[in-house]
Chain A
Amino acid sequence: VGRELYRDTGINLTFIYDSYDRNRLIRGFWNTVYLSLVCLVLSVLIGLVGAWLQGAKSRIVRALVQGYVQFFRNTPPLVQLYFFFFAIGSLLPTAVNRFGMAEPYLGNWHWAIIALSLFAGAFNVEIFRSGIEAVPPATTQAAEALGFTRLQIYLLIVLPLAFRICLPALNNNLVNLVKTTTLAYAIAVPEMLYMANQIWSDSVNVPEMMTFLLVAYVGLVAVLVWVMHRWERAMRLPGFGQ
């Protein structure tokens, strides 16, 4: 089918008739899904912890969180990836591999996950802060009066409310994160863009692969947005801001 399409219309979808191309594209797709999911979870955790620490009593802790947020929010993610992989990566300890060469413990996958999670996490910290600040102070004061500790107030009272408020903003950032995973191709993480790039290099079908990529990302993001919207609806509090 794919070959006939190519012959008749000039549209060369190699992944239809070439199993090698198909396999690597599928592998790229799942790698993108994997990278996105891991970074999604880690970045939300980073955001939650960061937002909690932003309210810490110690000025040093607050300054550290602020520094982290500024650093990752104000530098391009591609630069961060290169920085981690090529600059930081070269300073870390290495192990000797079977070829007698020094191999770093952290490879490109690790660095991609670390860099992208920290990048999206920085935004998540601010997003959660916006939600936390929208929780009426009277609520926290009431909780304090009832003897809750600061951590308990955060986890049991503030966060559940703040989460509902900031979900739309969080959605935006997570969608952005999924799209940003394409940058990992720069440090040779074989995600979808990387695989598509190699395919169009081999078969010179740039427009076709570009179109495929767009469609694939629209699909991936649509799934994410659908899940997040369902979650948003499930957590809706009648009368609370919506």
Chain B
Amino acid sequence: VSGGAILARALRDPASVKTLDANGWTALFSIARAEQLLGTLAYKLSALDLPEAIEAAIADARLNAEYQHRTALWEADSARRALLDFDGTIALMKGTAYVAAGLKAGQGRHIGDLDIMVAEDQISQAEQLLLTKGGWEWVKEDAYDDAYYRTHMHELPPLIHKERDRMIDVHHTILPKTARPRPDAAAMLEDAIDLDDGLSVFSPEDMVCHCAAHLIADGDLTGGMRNLWDMHCLLSEFAERDAQFWEQLGSRARHHQLWSAVSRAARLSARLYGTQIPVSWAAPRWQDGWYIRRILARDGWGRGTGKIVQLLFYIRSHWMRMPPMMLARHLWTKWRKA
């Protein structure tokens, strides 16, 4: 059994950890840390009656998650204050959005950088305000990287705060401009839901679309277990709230050209975490097994395994992000600089 499968089982069925011995627990903690899911796991396990040494480690993980959430919300508020004069929607994304909106996906979730999205034609305004009023500055001084981000990416080159050493990613859409699907970023901002402090989060459907796009259509599936756990929590919570959710999600995903990513992420989430998805969404595709294999590939020491499958997904991630000639030019430039 792969390490990922052990973690998935613990998240899906917390009571199953009762059968773990000391080695099993040690492995579970290392795997969960490697997948940045220890805080999430700690929340899932906190109702159980466990050995003292385990409970102490779980309490540490919960404290750490609380710290990350405190910091994440503070960073979001710092950005809000820097952007007081910004006259457009500012949408929080990913972990910070889940926590700010009080969603189950936020419980114990690891949060690193702050991700926000603004309209593309207003992004320079946001950038200037963050630089002049917020105290952020450029991370990279490299001209090629900078130009690359600005021409081809869905976000500004990352900014880091001068004093707090925290990064902010300012997006104008959810996938690189070079990717084949072209999500409707304007509609995402249009339909974003206001929090009471001037910041917003995506609508439930768009939140799921972004989560799926991030996992399936961008990147090499690193962090896939956490991403799918987000997917599982979002789908379960939204479907329970609203009987029309699946239908709305299907049409929204098609509108964003993300049906393939969203439906695949939903299937993988069902397969890994037991998410209840409609029968019409459930028909498996042959590639699903490879995704699962890639996502779960980890050993009991927390090390990634399956280097070849990993490499294939890495190549795929670049393939999806840019057309072949552009990819060749990009890798050539990167290779010469390395």
**A and B from one complex:** no
Q: List residues of A whose CB falls within 8 A of some B CB.
A: none
Q: List residues of B whose CB falls within 8 A of some A CB.
A: none
